[in-house]
Structure 1
Amino acid sequence: MVKLLALYKQPENKESFNDHYYNVHTPLAKKMPGLEKVEVTEIFGAPTGESDYHLLAELYFKDKETLMSSMNSPEGKAAAKDLMGFAGPLVTMMFGKVVEN
């Protein structure tokens, strides 16, 4: 299993960001073909106090090929376009392989 990770820095207006994230962006992302699971972590702090980060989203796919195909699908492109429109400067995206110990 692999996942697409999206790590979001603190937005200026959390209420507006969360409204768009949960009510517009997440429904778009959930339409991506091959998506098996979505987990969102709302970050509330760090061992040193405040965190520079607001959210971590993890989107799970069967394998790398399914992930890449999904990102290149019309639904994946729509989600990416929306992401860049409301959170482009705030988001860092990564791919990862799930390793079970």
Structure 2
Amino acid sequence: MNQLVALYKKQTDAKAFDDYYASTHVPLAKTLPGLKGYEISAGPVALTQGNSPYHLVAHASFRLGRRHQVGVDPPEGQATAAELGNFAQAGVDLLIFDTKEA
């Protein structure tokens, strides 16, 4: 299974970010081909070693067989990635990886 984790850094205007994220970005992200699940953090994002630079964490899992297809290759992924600049001015780190049973 393929995974995408988005680590959204703390925003200047958290309410504007949250409103835009919920009303615009989430519906767009849910159009990604092969999307199996989409979850976001609830409440503050903490680090075990102290203050966190993150406001929100999103986790998406996909049924796709190739990692390069997750998030950016399909037209829906290109549109979703391009749209990040509309609301994530503080920055976002995107992690894309495959998983296996441990």
Alignment TM-score, normalising by the size of structure 1: 0.83
State the Cα deviation string for residues 14-58 of structure 1 (Å, max 9, x = none).
100000111100100001111111011135134455421111111
What SS does the aligned partner of 2:52 have?
coil
Gap regions ≥5 residues in structure 1: none
- In structure 2, give the amino acid aligned to 1:65: R
Which 4+ stretches in 1 moved above 3 angstroms? 45-50
Higher helix share: 1
Q: Is the deviation greater in 25-34 or in 68-77?
A: 68-77
Q: CA RMSD in A?
A: 2.2
The percent of aligned pairs where both chains have the same amino acid is 35
Q: By how many angstroms is 1:6 displaced?
A: 0.6
CA contact (8 A) 2:36 2:63 kept: yes
Alignment TM-score, normalising by the size of structure 2: 0.82
Give the distance between the partners of 1:68 and 1:85, measured in 2 at CA: 23
After TM superposition, list the pairs within 5 Å mapping 1:18-97 onto structure 2: 18-44=18-44, 45-65=46-66, 68=69, 71-87=72-88, 89-97=90-98
